[in-house]
Amino acid sequence: MNAAQISGSISDQDLRDHLQKVYAEEPFVEVLPAGSLPTTASVLGSNTVAIGLATDQAAGRVTVVSAIDNLVKGTAGAAVQSLNIALGIAETTGLSADGVAP
């Protein structure tokens, strides 16, 4: 879906379905259900990005909100993920555990 395809009336669910399709094979991307916006607390200590969205039909605007833990996803986790890819091993190796104890 590109900008030309988005023009006109499109629902939250259409956009959410598109994002879920685009990110279906990405192990660290979570598209949130309708009516949910991400919080930093929901991704604390993880290598996950949480994505939520809302449309304003009257204004013809879409607001997309994402949240990451900037230590794990932003730096250390991104380095491990990139190294895994460079070495040809599973992208998720060493990244599935929560980095912060409850």
Residue type, 95: L
Model pTM score: 0.77
The pLDDT mean for the chain works out to: 85
Answer yes or no: is 23 within a domain.
Answer: yes
Domain range for 78: 3-87
Answer yes or no: is 98 within a domain.
Answer: no
Give the burial class of 72: count Cβ atoms within 10 A of its Cβ; 0-12 exposed, 13-18 middle, 19 or more buried.
buried
Answer yes or no: is 14 within a domain.
Answer: yes
What are the residues whose beta carbons fall under 8 Å from the beta carbon of 100, sequence distance 6 or more? 44, 45
Band of residue 8 on the pLDDT scale cut at 50, 70, 90: low
User: What's the number of domains the chain is made of?
Assistant: 1
pLDDT exceeds 80 at position 73: no
Average pLDDT value for residue range 4-33: 85
Q: What is the rounded distance in angstroms from the CA atom of residue 101 to the CA atom of residue 92?
A: 19
Determine which helix (DSSP H) or strand (DSSP E) holds 17, and give its type and residue range.
helix 12-22
CATH number of the domain encompassing residue 16: 3.30.360.10
Answer yes or no: is 41 within a domain.
Answer: yes
Band of residue 27 on the pLDDT scale cut at 50, 70, 90: very high
Answer yes or no: is 94 within a domain.
Answer: no
pLDDT of residue 7: 55
Residues paired with residue 56 on neighbouring β-strands, in sequence order: 61
Answer yes or no: is 93 within a domain.
Answer: no
